[in-house]
Amino acid sequence: MNILRRLPLSRLLLLCGLVVAIGIGITALAMAVGSGPTPPPKPLPEAVHDALAAPKVAGVSARIQFTNHLVEGANLASGSGASSQLASSPLLSGASGRLWIAADGRTRLELQSENGDSQLLYDGHTVSLYDASSNTLYRYTPQQSSTEGQDRSDSGPAQHHAIPTVQEIQEAIAHAAPNATFSGATPTDVAGQPAYTVRISPARNGGLIGGAELSWDAVHGVPLRAAIFSTTSSSPVIELAATEVSYGPVDSSTFNFTPPADAQLKEITPPSKNESSSAGQPEHDGSAPKLSTHGEGLDAIRVIEGQAKSADGKPTVSLPEGLPQTDINGATASELPTALGTLLSFERNGVRYLLVGSVTPGAIEAFARGL
C-alpha cells in the first residue's frame, strides 16, 4: 500500500477517521443510517479514487455516536480499583459526543458521560487521550523516521501528494486479496449524506475478528462511519458513526484542551526494535521488556515479558486488579476475555507475562501453559 504514503496526513486522517488504537492499540462504532439520498452504484476502486480526489474540505464538525460491546459480559463493574474505573469510562461503555477535524489534520473527539467528558486529541505531532473516569492523560508521540523527513523536504508537493489512479487502487486491492476480502462499494446514506460502505474481512488467520466496515461521504470523501465485527455476531462490536455532519472551517480554539492539574500523566512508549524479539530467541534476562510474536495474521499471540516489579515495587506489565482469575501451571493469572480476543497476565520466577491474542480464553490459556 505504498500509494498511501503519498497522501497528505490530513487526507489520511479524514479517510481513516481516527480508527485508534486504537489504536492503538485501537480503531468501531453505531451506524446512523437514515432515509437520506444514496449515491449511484460504482466499482470500489473508482469510489475510493473519487473519495481521495475529492476537493479538500475546510474542516469537519460532527455529532457522533460511539458504541462499544468489547468487554460486555466481563463484569468489570463488579471488580475493584482500575477495573471498576474502566467499566465507567465512555471509552468502554460507549457514549455520544462530538468530533472536529481541521483542514491541517488537527483532530478532537469528545465523548460525553456522567463521570466527565473523555477527550482524544491530535495536534499534528502528538496523540493525547484524557480519560475523566480515571483522571488520566495518556500521551503518545510517534517517532518520525529519517525517510519521512526526507519525503517532506526533498520531494515536491505534487509528487508527495499524488492521488493513486483507479488502476493503482485496483492493483492494491488485488495484492491484498490473499489475506483479505473486499466487498463492493455499497451505496447507502450516513448522517443524511450519500455515502459508500466497504467491508473488509480476513481471508485467513483472522482469529475472532470477523471484519471491518468503513463508510465515507460520496461527495466529500470524508469518513462518516467505521465499525469492527467479531466472528460471533452480525452486530458491530465497536462502532463510531456520525449522526450529524457539517463542513467548514473549525475555530483553532476548539483544539485547546487543558487537563486537570491533578491528572495522572502516562507516556506511551512502544518497545523499540532492540527490545523485541521473535519466538525461539533466548529467554528474557529481566533487563527490559521483551515482545515476541507466535503465529501469523490477526490470530497470532503476542507475549510481553518484563520484570515482575519495577524499582518502586509496582508491576511492570499487568492487567487491572479485580479481573477473573485462572490457574496457569500453579500461577494465578488475571484474564480479560473480550469479543475480539483475550488478554492474560501472570507472574512466574520473577518475570511478569502479558499475553494478547485474537483468540478464545481457552486457546490463550493453553498457549500460556506451554511457555
- Is the CB of residue 130 less than 8 Å from the CB of residue 119? yes
Same domain, 295 and 329: yes
pLDDT of residue 280: 44
Rounded mean pLDDT, 350-368: 95
Mean of pLDDT values over 116-134: 91
Average pLDDT of 63-80? 76
Structure-block grid coordinates of residue 332:
494465578
14-64 pLDDT tens trace = 344 433 333 333 333 333 334 578 999 999 999 999 999 999 999 999 999
pLDDT tier for residue 253 given thresholds of 50, 70 and 90: very high
Q: What is the pLDDT of residue 311?
A: 63
Residues 256 and 276 in one domain: no
- Percent of the chain topping pLDDT 70: 74
Q: Identify how many contiguous H helices and E strands the chain contains and give both numbers.
A: 8, 19
Give residue 323's identity as a one-letter amino acid code.
L
Write the CATH number for 61.
2.50.20.10
pLDDT at position 31, please?
37
Residues 196 and 62 reside in one and the same domain: yes
pLDDT top residue among 82 and 365: 365
- Report the number of distinct structural domains present in the chain: 2
Higher pLDDT, 300 or 6: 300
Same domain, 293 and 249: no
What DSSP assignment string belongs to 244-290? EEEES---GGGG-----TTPEEEE--PPPGGGB--TTSPPP-SSS-E
More confident position, 80 or 112 = 112
Domain finish residue from 264, 291, 308 = 264
240/316 same-domain check: no
- 216 and 285 part of one domain: no
Is residue 225 predicted with pLDDT exceeding 90? yes
| pLDDT tens sequence across 147-181 | 555 544 444 444 456 899 999 999 999 999 999 99
Letter for the amino acid at 320?
A: P
- Higher pLDDT residue, 76 or 144? 144
Instruction: Please report the pLDDT score of residue 88 as a whole number.
Output: 65
Least confident window among 3-7, 235-239, 243-247, 296-300: 3-7
Q: What is the pLDDT of residues 197-215, one digit of tens each?
A: 999 999 999 999 999 999 9
DSSP secondary structure string for all residues of 75-144: -GGGS-THHHHHHHSHHHH-EEEEEEEETTS-EEEEE--TT--EEEEE-SS-EEEEETTTTEEEEE-PPP
For 292-333, write each residue's pLDDT tens digit: 999 999 999 999 998 876 666 665 556 777 788 999 999 999
Mean pLDDT of the chain, nearest integer? 81
- Domain harbouring 343, CATH code: 3.30.200
Same domain, 253 and 282: no
Which of 69-78, 142-151, 255-264, 276-285 shows the lowest per-residue confidence on average (mean pLDDT)? 276-285
**Has residue 268 got a pLDDT over 90?**
no
Q: What is residue 236's predicted lDDT score, i.e. its pLDDT?
A: 96
One domain for residues 155 and 300: no
Verify that 201 and 348 share a domain, yes or no.
Answer: no
The residue among 239 and 117 whose pLDDT is bigger is 239
**So what's the pLDDT on residue 284?**
45
Chain centroid offset of residue 359 CA? 18
Same domain, 244 and 288: no
At 141, phi and psi to the nearest 5? -115, 105
From 264, 297, 312, the end of a domain falls on: 264
Q: Which of 229, 264, 299 is the last residue of a domain?
A: 264
Range of the domain at 214: 2-264
Q: Kindly state whether residues 156 and 292 are assigned to the same domain.
A: no
Query: Do 257 and 291 reside in the same domain of the chain?
Result: no
pLDDT at 159: 44
